[in-house]
Amino acid sequence: MSPERAQHLLQGYAYGTLTRAELQELSVAALDDEDLFAQMAHADEQRQILAVPGVREEALRIVRQSAEPELSWRDRLAAWFRPGTLLPAAAVAMVVMVLIVKYKPWDRGDKHSQTDVNNQLYQPEARAVADLQPAAAGPAFTISSEPWMNSTVTEATNISFRVQLAAPAALVVVQQMPDGRARFVYPESLTEPVDLTAGEHRIALEASPPGSGIAGNIRLVVAAFEPSTDVRLPDVSLDQARGRMTRREISYAVRAP
Amino acid sequence: MSNRDEVIGKLRTSLVRFLVTQPGMSREDSEDVAQQTMVVLLSDRYRHLEEEADLTPLSFEIVRRTRLDFLKRRKRYEPMPEGHDPVSHEPGVDRILIEDYEDIESKARKWLDRLRNLLPGMSKRCRQLLELRLKGFSTDDIAAAMSMTNNYVLVAEHRCRNTIRGMQPEGSVR
Protein backbone atom coordinates (compact mmCIF):
# COMPACT_ATOMS: atom_id res chain seq x y z
CA MET A 1 0.00 0.00 0.00
CA SER A 2 1.42 3.39 -0.96
CA PRO A 3 1.97 5.97 1.82
CA GLU A 4 -0.57 8.27 0.14
CA ARG A 5 -3.20 5.54 0.07
CA ALA A 6 -2.47 4.69 3.71
CA GLN A 7 -2.87 8.34 4.75
CA HIS A 8 -6.10 8.62 2.78
CA LEU A 9 -7.53 5.56 4.54
CA LEU A 10 -6.25 6.56 8.00
CA GLN A 11 -7.85 10.00 7.78
CA GLY A 12 -11.09 8.42 6.62
CA TYR A 13 -10.90 5.94 9.51
CA ALA A 14 -10.28 8.66 12.11
CA TYR A 15 -13.28 10.69 10.91
CA GLY A 16 -15.55 7.73 10.15
CA THR A 17 -15.91 8.20 6.41
CA LEU A 18 -14.51 4.88 5.12
CA THR A 19 -16.63 2.49 3.13
CA ARG A 20 -16.75 -1.14 4.23
CA ALA A 21 -14.35 -2.12 1.43
CA GLU A 22 -11.89 0.62 2.40
CA LEU A 23 -12.04 -0.40 6.07
CA GLN A 24 -11.30 -3.99 5.09
CA GLU A 25 -8.39 -2.82 2.88
CA LEU A 26 -6.90 -0.77 5.72
CA SER A 27 -7.40 -3.51 8.33
CA VAL A 28 -5.80 -6.21 6.17
CA ALA A 29 -2.82 -3.96 5.37
CA ALA A 30 -2.41 -2.94 9.05
CA LEU A 31 -2.14 -6.55 10.21
CA ASP A 32 0.87 -6.98 7.93
CA ASP A 33 2.53 -3.65 8.72
CA GLU A 34 3.59 -2.77 12.27
CA ASP A 35 3.79 1.00 11.67
CA LEU A 36 0.46 1.15 9.90
CA PHE A 37 -1.14 -0.82 12.75
CA ALA A 38 0.21 1.71 15.27
CA GLN A 39 -1.08 4.59 13.15
CA MET A 40 -4.47 2.91 12.88
CA ALA A 41 -4.55 2.47 16.67
CA HIS A 42 -3.94 6.21 17.13
CA ALA A 43 -6.53 7.05 14.48
CA ASP A 44 -8.94 4.79 16.35
CA GLU A 45 -8.67 7.01 19.42
CA GLN A 46 -9.75 9.99 17.31
CA ARG A 47 -12.57 7.88 15.86
CA GLN A 48 -13.80 6.93 19.34
CA ILE A 49 -13.59 10.52 20.58
CA LEU A 50 -15.76 11.65 17.67
CA ALA A 51 -18.17 8.80 18.36
CA VAL A 52 -18.93 10.16 21.85
CA PRO A 53 -22.44 11.64 21.60
CA GLY A 54 -22.39 15.38 20.93
CA VAL A 55 -18.63 15.69 20.42
CA ARG A 56 -18.73 16.01 16.63
CA GLU A 57 -21.48 18.64 16.81
CA GLU A 58 -19.64 20.58 19.52
CA ALA A 59 -16.40 20.47 17.50
CA LEU A 60 -18.24 21.82 14.44
CA ARG A 61 -19.68 24.62 16.55
CA ILE A 62 -16.20 25.51 17.83
CA VAL A 63 -14.79 25.54 14.29
CA ARG A 64 -17.56 27.83 13.07
CA GLN A 65 -17.17 30.19 16.03
CA SER A 66 -13.43 30.46 15.49
CA ALA A 67 -13.86 31.83 11.95
CA GLU A 68 -12.18 35.21 11.61
CA PRO A 69 -14.63 38.10 11.65
CA GLU A 70 -15.06 39.81 8.30
CA LEU A 71 -13.06 43.07 8.21
CA SER A 72 -14.74 46.24 7.07
CA TRP A 73 -13.22 48.10 4.09
CA ARG A 74 -11.94 50.76 6.50
CA ASP A 75 -10.00 48.13 8.50
CA ARG A 76 -8.61 46.60 5.30
CA LEU A 77 -7.50 50.02 4.03
CA ALA A 78 -5.95 50.89 7.39
CA ALA A 79 -4.01 47.60 7.35
CA TRP A 80 -2.25 48.68 4.14
CA PHE A 81 -0.93 51.83 5.79
CA ARG A 82 0.46 50.18 8.88
CA PRO A 83 4.23 50.65 9.24
CA GLY A 84 6.17 48.01 7.34
CA THR A 85 3.32 46.95 5.04
CA LEU A 86 3.69 49.17 1.98
CA LEU A 87 7.36 48.49 1.26
CA PRO A 88 7.14 44.65 1.12
CA ALA A 89 3.93 44.92 -0.88
CA ALA A 90 5.63 47.18 -3.42
CA ALA A 91 8.55 44.74 -3.67
CA VAL A 92 6.19 41.82 -4.27
CA ALA A 93 4.30 43.83 -6.90
CA MET A 94 7.59 44.63 -8.65
CA VAL A 95 8.60 40.94 -8.76
CA VAL A 96 5.18 39.97 -10.08
CA MET A 97 5.41 42.61 -12.80
CA VAL A 98 8.83 41.35 -13.87
CA LEU A 99 7.57 37.75 -14.00
CA ILE A 100 4.49 38.73 -15.99
CA VAL A 101 6.55 40.63 -18.55
CA LYS A 102 9.09 37.81 -18.77
CA TYR A 103 6.71 34.87 -19.16
CA LYS A 104 3.91 36.63 -21.06
CA PRO A 105 1.01 34.55 -19.74
CA TRP A 106 -1.26 36.08 -22.44
CA ASP A 107 0.71 34.12 -25.04
CA ARG A 108 -0.07 30.75 -23.48
CA GLY A 109 -3.41 30.45 -25.16
CA ASP A 110 -5.84 27.84 -23.84
CA LYS A 111 -3.23 25.25 -22.84
CA HIS A 112 -4.62 24.97 -19.34
CA SER A 113 -8.24 25.50 -20.11
CA GLN A 114 -9.25 21.84 -19.90
CA THR A 115 -7.46 21.41 -16.57
CA ASP A 116 -9.22 24.44 -15.20
CA VAL A 117 -12.55 23.07 -16.30
CA ASN A 118 -11.79 19.66 -14.85
CA ASN A 119 -10.77 21.18 -11.52
CA GLN A 120 -13.91 23.20 -11.33
CA LEU A 121 -16.50 21.94 -8.95
CA TYR A 122 -19.96 21.03 -10.08
CA GLN A 123 -22.19 19.72 -7.36
CA PRO A 124 -25.45 17.78 -7.62
CA GLU A 125 -26.73 19.91 -4.72
CA ALA A 126 -26.25 23.02 -6.87
CA ARG A 127 -28.15 21.42 -9.73
CA ALA A 128 -30.95 20.53 -7.34
CA VAL A 129 -31.15 24.12 -6.08
CA ALA A 130 -31.21 25.47 -9.64
CA ASP A 131 -34.12 23.15 -10.46
CA LEU A 132 -36.10 23.76 -7.25
CA GLN A 133 -39.67 24.88 -7.67
CA PRO A 134 -40.73 26.09 -4.21
CA ALA A 135 -44.12 25.30 -2.75
CA ALA A 136 -44.28 28.70 -1.00
CA ALA A 137 -42.38 31.97 -1.12
CA GLY A 138 -39.37 32.28 1.18
CA PRO A 139 -37.64 35.46 2.35
CA ALA A 140 -38.39 38.24 -0.14
CA PHE A 141 -35.57 40.08 -1.90
CA THR A 142 -34.80 42.30 -4.86
CA ILE A 143 -31.65 42.50 -6.98
CA SER A 144 -29.97 45.54 -8.43
CA SER A 145 -26.75 45.76 -10.44
CA GLU A 146 -23.76 47.78 -9.42
CA PRO A 147 -24.17 51.28 -10.88
CA TRP A 148 -20.95 50.95 -12.87
CA MET A 149 -21.84 47.62 -14.44
CA ASN A 150 -24.08 46.60 -17.25
CA SER A 151 -25.34 43.19 -18.20
CA THR A 152 -22.45 42.48 -20.58
CA VAL A 153 -19.29 41.04 -19.06
CA THR A 154 -16.06 39.50 -20.27
CA GLU A 155 -14.98 35.97 -19.42
CA ALA A 156 -13.19 35.46 -16.11
CA THR A 157 -14.60 38.62 -14.77
CA ASN A 158 -15.94 39.22 -11.33
CA ILE A 159 -19.62 39.90 -11.14
CA SER A 160 -21.25 41.82 -8.36
CA PHE A 161 -24.74 42.96 -7.66
CA ARG A 162 -26.79 44.12 -4.71
CA VAL A 163 -29.46 42.16 -2.95
CA GLN A 164 -32.05 43.86 -0.79
CA LEU A 165 -33.39 41.33 1.69
CA ALA A 166 -36.74 42.01 3.34
CA ALA A 167 -35.98 39.50 6.11
CA PRO A 168 -33.00 37.45 7.31
CA ALA A 169 -32.28 34.64 4.85
CA ALA A 170 -29.83 31.94 3.86
CA LEU A 171 -28.66 33.11 0.44
CA VAL A 172 -26.87 31.07 -2.20
CA VAL A 173 -26.07 31.77 -5.83
CA VAL A 174 -25.81 28.94 -8.34
CA GLN A 175 -24.27 29.25 -11.78
CA GLN A 176 -25.94 27.07 -14.41
CA MET A 177 -23.52 25.83 -17.04
CA PRO A 178 -24.47 25.35 -20.69
CA ASP A 179 -23.98 21.58 -20.40
CA GLY A 180 -26.55 21.27 -17.62
CA ARG A 181 -24.15 21.12 -14.68
CA ALA A 182 -24.29 23.68 -11.89
CA ARG A 183 -22.03 25.02 -9.17
CA PHE A 184 -22.34 27.22 -6.12
CA VAL A 185 -20.59 30.53 -6.70
CA TYR A 186 -21.73 32.29 -3.53
CA PRO A 187 -20.75 32.08 -0.69
CA GLU A 188 -17.19 31.54 -1.86
CA SER A 189 -16.42 28.57 0.39
CA LEU A 190 -18.31 25.95 2.33
CA THR A 191 -17.12 27.31 5.65
CA GLU A 192 -18.65 30.71 5.08
CA PRO A 193 -22.12 31.07 6.55
CA VAL A 194 -25.03 31.46 4.18
CA ASP A 195 -27.15 33.52 6.57
CA LEU A 196 -27.52 37.22 5.81
CA THR A 197 -29.34 39.82 7.84
CA ALA A 198 -32.24 41.85 6.49
CA GLY A 199 -31.12 44.85 4.43
CA GLU A 200 -28.81 45.48 1.50
CA HIS A 201 -25.84 43.22 0.75
CA ARG A 202 -23.25 43.36 -2.00
CA ILE A 203 -22.77 39.92 -3.56
CA ALA A 204 -19.45 39.49 -5.33
CA LEU A 205 -18.59 36.28 -7.16
CA GLU A 206 -16.52 34.86 -9.96
CA ALA A 207 -19.12 33.45 -12.30
CA SER A 208 -17.11 32.31 -15.24
CA PRO A 209 -13.86 30.52 -14.36
CA PRO A 210 -10.76 31.55 -16.32
CA GLY A 211 -10.25 29.57 -19.49
CA SER A 212 -13.53 27.72 -19.21
CA GLY A 213 -14.42 28.71 -22.75
CA ILE A 214 -18.03 29.22 -21.77
CA ALA A 215 -19.91 30.85 -24.57
CA GLY A 216 -23.25 32.55 -24.44
CA ASN A 217 -24.81 33.82 -21.27
CA ILE A 218 -23.76 33.42 -17.68
CA ARG A 219 -26.91 32.23 -16.00
CA LEU A 220 -27.23 32.66 -12.25
CA VAL A 221 -29.93 31.55 -9.86
CA VAL A 222 -30.13 33.59 -6.65
CA ALA A 223 -32.01 31.60 -4.02
CA ALA A 224 -33.11 32.73 -0.57
CA PHE A 225 -34.08 30.09 1.99
CA GLU A 226 -35.10 30.29 5.61
CA PRO A 227 -32.10 31.19 7.85
CA SER A 228 -29.77 28.29 8.78
CA THR A 229 -30.77 26.26 5.72
CA ASP A 230 -27.41 25.50 4.18
CA VAL A 231 -28.48 23.74 1.01
CA ARG A 232 -24.84 23.33 -0.09
CA LEU A 233 -24.41 20.45 2.32
CA PRO A 234 -25.41 16.99 1.16
CA ASP A 235 -27.09 16.20 4.48
CA VAL A 236 -29.59 19.05 4.29
CA SER A 237 -32.92 17.80 3.09
CA LEU A 238 -34.09 19.74 0.08
CA ASP A 239 -37.61 18.57 0.81
CA GLN A 240 -37.54 20.67 3.96
CA ALA A 241 -35.95 23.63 2.18
CA ARG A 242 -38.38 23.38 -0.73
CA GLY A 243 -41.24 24.43 1.53
CA ARG A 244 -40.17 28.09 1.56
CA MET A 245 -37.77 29.54 -0.96
CA THR A 246 -37.55 32.59 -3.18
CA ARG A 247 -35.55 32.51 -6.40
CA ARG A 248 -34.54 34.97 -9.07
CA GLU A 249 -32.68 34.25 -12.27
CA ILE A 250 -30.25 36.75 -13.74
CA SER A 251 -28.02 36.45 -16.76
CA TYR A 252 -25.07 38.27 -18.24
CA ALA A 253 -24.08 38.23 -21.89
CA VAL A 254 -20.43 37.26 -22.33
CA ARG A 255 -18.27 39.08 -24.83
CA ALA A 256 -14.66 38.37 -25.73
CA PRO A 257 -12.18 40.23 -23.52
CA MET B 1 -7.18 -23.05 10.81
CA SER B 2 -10.15 -20.90 9.80
CA ASN B 3 -9.81 -17.40 8.41
CA ARG B 4 -11.11 -16.05 11.72
CA ASP B 5 -8.44 -17.90 13.71
CA GLU B 6 -5.79 -16.59 11.34
CA VAL B 7 -7.01 -12.99 11.69
CA ILE B 8 -7.12 -13.26 15.48
CA GLY B 9 -3.61 -14.74 15.53
CA LYS B 10 -2.31 -11.80 13.48
CA LEU B 11 -4.19 -9.36 15.68
CA ARG B 12 -2.58 -10.75 18.82
CA THR B 13 0.92 -10.37 17.37
CA SER B 14 0.20 -6.84 16.14
CA LEU B 15 -1.33 -5.79 19.45
CA VAL B 16 1.66 -7.00 21.47
CA ARG B 17 4.05 -5.13 19.16
CA PHE B 18 1.95 -1.98 19.49
CA LEU B 19 1.44 -2.17 23.25
CA VAL B 20 5.16 -2.60 23.93
CA THR B 21 5.73 0.85 22.43
CA GLN B 22 3.20 2.47 24.77
CA PRO B 23 4.28 4.34 27.94
CA GLY B 24 4.46 2.17 31.05
CA MET B 25 3.98 -1.14 29.21
CA SER B 26 6.61 -3.87 29.55
CA ARG B 27 6.74 -6.89 27.26
CA GLU B 28 4.98 -8.97 29.93
CA ASP B 29 2.29 -6.34 30.45
CA SER B 30 1.71 -6.18 26.72
CA GLU B 31 1.39 -9.98 26.46
CA ASP B 32 -1.11 -9.95 29.34
CA VAL B 33 -3.27 -7.18 27.88
CA ALA B 34 -3.21 -8.73 24.40
CA GLN B 35 -4.17 -12.12 25.86
CA GLN B 36 -7.09 -10.66 27.81
CA THR B 37 -8.21 -8.90 24.63
CA MET B 38 -8.12 -12.18 22.74
CA VAL B 39 -10.24 -13.88 25.41
CA VAL B 40 -12.94 -11.25 24.85
CA LEU B 41 -12.66 -11.50 21.05
CA LEU B 42 -12.99 -15.29 21.20
CA SER B 43 -16.10 -15.17 23.40
CA ASP B 44 -19.50 -16.19 22.04
CA ARG B 45 -20.56 -12.55 21.92
CA TYR B 46 -18.24 -11.83 18.98
CA ARG B 47 -18.11 -15.26 17.35
CA HIS B 48 -20.12 -14.01 14.35
CA LEU B 49 -17.39 -11.49 13.40
CA GLU B 50 -14.90 -12.93 10.94
CA GLU B 51 -13.42 -10.18 8.79
CA GLU B 52 -10.52 -7.87 9.54
CA ALA B 53 -12.82 -4.86 9.03
CA ASP B 54 -14.85 -5.97 12.09
CA LEU B 55 -12.21 -7.51 14.29
CA THR B 56 -9.47 -4.85 14.07
CA PRO B 57 -11.53 -1.81 15.18
CA LEU B 58 -13.21 -3.95 17.86
CA SER B 59 -9.83 -5.12 19.16
CA PHE B 60 -8.70 -1.47 19.54
CA GLU B 61 -11.74 -0.73 21.68
CA ILE B 62 -11.30 -3.83 23.83
CA VAL B 63 -7.57 -3.31 24.24
CA ARG B 64 -8.11 0.28 25.35
CA ARG B 65 -10.51 -0.76 28.10
CA THR B 66 -8.42 -3.76 29.08
CA ARG B 67 -5.29 -1.65 29.30
CA LEU B 68 -7.11 0.98 31.34
CA ASP B 69 -8.22 -1.67 33.87
CA PHE B 70 -4.76 -3.18 33.84
CA LEU B 71 -3.04 0.13 34.59
CA LYS B 72 -5.58 1.02 37.27
CA ARG B 73 -5.04 -2.31 39.02
CA ARG B 74 -1.30 -1.96 38.82
CA LYS B 75 -1.37 1.62 40.07
CA ARG B 76 -3.07 0.48 43.26
CA TYR B 77 -0.24 -1.89 44.10
CA GLU B 78 2.80 -0.03 42.84
CA PRO B 79 4.41 3.00 44.47
CA MET B 80 4.53 6.23 42.49
CA PRO B 81 7.78 6.90 40.60
CA GLU B 82 10.70 8.35 42.54
CA GLY B 83 10.45 12.12 42.86
CA HIS B 84 6.76 12.09 41.90
CA ASP B 85 5.07 15.38 42.72
CA PRO B 86 1.27 15.10 42.49
CA VAL B 87 0.74 18.86 42.27
CA SER B 88 3.44 19.48 39.69
CA HIS B 89 2.38 20.57 36.22
CA GLU B 90 5.70 19.53 34.73
CA PRO B 91 5.27 16.95 31.97
CA GLY B 92 6.72 13.54 32.62
CA VAL B 93 6.18 9.86 32.11
CA ASP B 94 3.93 9.64 35.16
CA ARG B 95 1.71 12.38 33.76
CA ILE B 96 1.44 10.63 30.41
CA LEU B 97 0.50 7.46 32.29
CA ILE B 98 -2.18 9.33 34.20
CA GLU B 99 -3.62 10.57 30.88
CA ASP B 100 -3.90 6.95 29.85
CA TYR B 101 -6.14 6.26 32.83
CA GLU B 102 -8.80 8.54 31.45
CA ASP B 103 -11.83 7.14 29.75
CA ILE B 104 -12.79 8.20 26.24
CA GLU B 105 -15.35 10.75 27.49
CA SER B 106 -12.64 12.58 29.47
CA LYS B 107 -10.36 12.48 26.45
CA ALA B 108 -13.15 13.89 24.31
CA ARG B 109 -13.64 16.79 26.73
CA LYS B 110 -9.91 17.51 26.68
CA TRP B 111 -9.81 17.29 22.89
CA LEU B 112 -12.62 19.84 22.63
CA ASP B 113 -10.80 22.14 25.07
CA ARG B 114 -7.63 21.89 22.98
CA LEU B 115 -9.66 22.64 19.86
CA ARG B 116 -11.10 25.77 21.52
CA ASN B 117 -7.63 26.99 22.47
CA LEU B 118 -5.81 26.17 19.25
CA LEU B 119 -8.32 26.96 16.51
CA PRO B 120 -8.07 30.76 16.67
CA GLY B 121 -4.38 30.47 15.79
CA MET B 122 -4.94 28.12 12.87
CA SER B 123 -5.13 29.16 9.24
CA LYS B 124 -8.44 29.46 7.42
CA ARG B 125 -7.53 26.46 5.27
CA CYS B 126 -6.88 24.27 8.32
CA ARG B 127 -10.23 25.24 9.78
CA GLN B 128 -11.95 24.50 6.47
CA LEU B 129 -10.30 21.09 6.25
CA LEU B 130 -11.28 20.22 9.80
CA GLU B 131 -14.84 21.41 9.28
CA LEU B 132 -15.28 19.30 6.17
CA ARG B 133 -13.81 16.23 7.91
CA LEU B 134 -16.16 16.74 10.85
CA LYS B 135 -19.06 16.97 8.42
CA GLY B 136 -18.12 13.53 7.14
CA PHE B 137 -16.46 14.52 3.86
CA SER B 138 -14.04 11.94 2.46
CA THR B 139 -10.67 12.95 0.99
CA ASP B 140 -12.24 12.81 -2.49
CA ASP B 141 -15.12 15.05 -1.38
CA ILE B 142 -12.77 17.58 0.20
CA ALA B 143 -10.53 17.60 -2.87
CA ALA B 144 -13.57 18.41 -5.01
CA ALA B 145 -14.99 20.98 -2.60
CA MET B 146 -11.70 22.85 -2.26
CA SER B 147 -10.50 22.38 -5.85
CA MET B 148 -7.40 20.46 -4.73
CA THR B 149 -5.92 17.10 -5.61
CA ASN B 150 -6.35 14.26 -3.10
CA ASN B 151 -2.65 14.30 -2.32
CA TYR B 152 -2.69 18.01 -1.67
CA VAL B 153 -5.55 17.56 0.81
CA LEU B 154 -3.49 14.99 2.71
CA VAL B 155 -0.38 17.18 2.63
CA ALA B 156 -2.37 20.21 3.81
CA GLU B 157 -3.87 18.17 6.66
CA HIS B 158 -0.42 16.93 7.62
CA ARG B 159 0.82 20.53 7.78
CA CYS B 160 -2.15 21.50 9.91
CA ARG B 161 -1.40 18.68 12.34
CA ASN B 162 2.23 19.83 12.53
CA THR B 163 1.06 23.38 13.21
CA ILE B 164 -1.13 22.14 16.03
CA ARG B 165 1.74 20.14 17.51
CA GLY B 166 3.94 23.24 17.36
CA MET B 167 1.31 25.26 19.20
CA GLN B 168 0.84 22.79 22.04
CA PRO B 169 2.96 22.90 25.18
CA GLU B 170 5.92 20.52 25.20
CA GLY B 171 4.98 17.04 26.39
CA SER B 172 1.25 17.33 25.86
CA VAL B 173 1.24 15.75 22.40
CA ARG B 174 0.91 12.03 22.13
Please tell me the predicted confidence (pLDDT) of residue B154. 85
Inform me whether the pLDDT recorded for A243 exceeds 50.
yes
A11 to B157: CB separation less than 8 angstroms, yes or no? yes
Q: How large is the average pLDDT for residues A44-67?
A: 86
Q: What ipTM, to 2 d.p.?
A: 0.79
* pLDDT mean across residues, chain A: 76
Q: CA B24 to CA A150: how far, in whole Å?
A: 72
Residue A253 is inside which H or E element, if any?
Answer: strand A245-255
On whether the pTM is more than 0.80, the answer is: no
Query: For chain B, how are helix, strand and coil distributed in percent, rounded to 5?
Result: 70, 0, 30
Enclosing H/E stretch for A113: helix A113-119
Tell me if B66 sits within 8 A of B30, measured CB to CB.
no
pLDDT number for residue B171? 35
A-chain CB neighbours of B146 within 8 Å are 189
Produce one character per residue of A90-127: b if its CB has 16 or more CB atoms within 10 Å, e if not: eeeeeeeeeeeeeeeeeeeeeeeeeebeeebebbebbb
Contact of B154 with B139, CB cutoff 8 Å: yes
Mean pLDDT of A177-187: 80
Residues 6+ apart with CB under 8 A from B147: A119, A120, A121
Residues of chain A contacting residue B11, judged by C-beta atoms under 8 Å apart:
31
Instruction: Say how far apart CA A223 and CA A200 lie, in whole Å.
Output: 15
Quickly state the pLDDT bin for A143 (edges 50, 70, 90).
confident
- Please tell me the distance from the alpha carbon of residue A144 to that of residue A248, in angstroms, as a whole number: 12
CA separation for the pair A35, A6 (Å, rounded)? 11
Higher pLDDT, A103 or A58: A58
- Say yes or no to pLDDT of A111 above 60: no
Q: Which of A38, A44, A63 sits opposite B21 (nearest CB)?
A: A38
B125 interaction partners in chain A (CB closer than 8 Å)? none
**CB-closest option in B7, B51, B134 to A63:** B134
CB B63 within 8 A of CB B33: yes
Q: Which of residues 142-161 of B touch A (CB under 8 A)?
A: 144-147, 150-151, 154, 157-158
Contact across the interface for B57 and A67, Cβ inside 8 Å: no
Range from A98-112, A117-131, A223-237, B20-34 carrying the lowest mean pLDDT = A98-112
Option in B104, B131, B154 nearest A63 (CB): B131
- State whether residue A194 sits within 8 Å of chain B by CB: no
Gap from A147 CA to chain B (nearest CA, Å): 32
Mutate to test the interface with A, among B4, B52, B152 (most CBs of A within 10 A): B52
Residues of chain B whose pLDDT is less than 70? 1-2, 74-102, 165-174
B120/A contact by beta carbon, under 8 A: yes
pLDDT digits (tens, 9 = 90+) for A17-40: 888 889 999 999 999 998 999 999
Q: What is the largest CA-CA distance in chain B?
A: 56
Among the listed residues A194, A196, A185, the one whose alpha carbon sits nearest the alpha carbon of residue A219 = A185
- Cα angle A66, A71, A74; round to 5: 160
Q: Which of B11, B18, B131 sits opposite A191 (nearest CB)?
A: B131
Using an 8 Å Cβ cutoff, are B166 and B136 in contact? no
Q: Is the peptide bond before B81 cis (omega within 30 degrees of 0)?
A: no
B166 CB near a chain A CB, below 8 Å? no
A positions 87-146 inside 8 Å of B (CB): 119-121, 123
Q: In chain A, what percentage of residues exceed pLDDT 90?
A: 8
Output the pLDDT for position A104. 63
B135–A63 C-beta distance less than 8 A? no
pLDDT one-digit tens code per residue, B32-62 = 889 988 988 888 888 888 889 989 999 998 8
B122:A17 CB<8 A: no
**Which of the residue ranges A160-164, A201-205, B83-87 would you say has the lowest mean pLDDT?**
B83-87
